[in-house]
Amino acid sequence: RYDPMLHGPFLFHVQAIIFFLFGVSNYTVRIAPALFGGLLVASTYLLRETVGKRGIVLIALFLNFSPTHLYYSRFMIHDSHSACFTYLFALCGIRYFQTRRRNWLYLTAAALSIMFCIKANAYIHRFVVVTFMISMFLFEHLMTRLPRFRSDFAPKFTAYLEQRFPGEYSQPLLTRLLRYLRAEMDILILAGYVFAWIYLILYSTVFTNPDGVYDGIVRTWTYWLNQ
């Protein structure tokens, strides 16, 4: 049963599967954190079109030899899992905005859902991402609207935006947002289903503890706010 003091249910489900398959030992208790720690480093490959081959090699090296990352990838604790899926959430989100392919959005929703099933710090990570995106969109809007920005500081940036999103940045911000929601509504609904089903399955302990779904939303907040 879910207990907020022990964080989310993801670690316990994964560890139960590993113990079932490979038995209980000091070795098997380290498999999952080492696996997710390695997956975090390997996921840097998704940035290849953004930072290039040299960039992903350098990022992967920094992550691989990070003392903090190595430390938390050595024993059974939530941090390795949390770091991995937070990273995947960001990378899959970047790939979705670059390609507009729906599969990346579904993977983004899955990674976000698993984040919330690992640790309550997912609320903090989501806040960081959402506020960054709001700031980014407002910045892009100002760069293409204010004459001083357009003429003095950002002609190349404006040209880049117009080339990438032809005709869009001449429209009001709210209009563009509403147009996107109308065009992508079916994809967003399916992404919501992906998020919800992962959350329901894990917090209900595969539907054997329905109260866990309520506890995952309400008790998480009350417990950590009291802490």
Measured CA to CA, the distance from residue 17 to residue 35 in angstroms comes to: 14
105, 124 Cβ separation under 8 angstroms: no
Region for 100 from its dihedrals, namely left if φ exceeds 0, alpha if ψ lies in -120 to 50, beta otherwise: left
Confidence of residue 179 (pLDDT cuts 50, 70, 90): confident
- Answer left, alpha or beta for residue 167, where phi above 0 means left and psi between -120 and 50 means alpha: left
Least confident segment among 62-76, 106-120, 129-143, 144-158: 144-158
Q: What is the pTM of this model?
A: 0.83
At position 213, the amino acid (one-letter code) is V
Q: Which of 87-101, 165-179, 202-216 has the lowest mean pLDDT?
A: 165-179
Burial of 152 (0-12, 13-18, 19+ CB in 10 A): exposed
Nearest CA to 142 among 169, 109, 115, 182? Answer: 169
- Hey, what are 49's tokens? 């079109």
Which of 33-42, 149-158, 161-170: highest mean pLDDT?
33-42
* Structure tokens belonging to residue 66: 């990070």
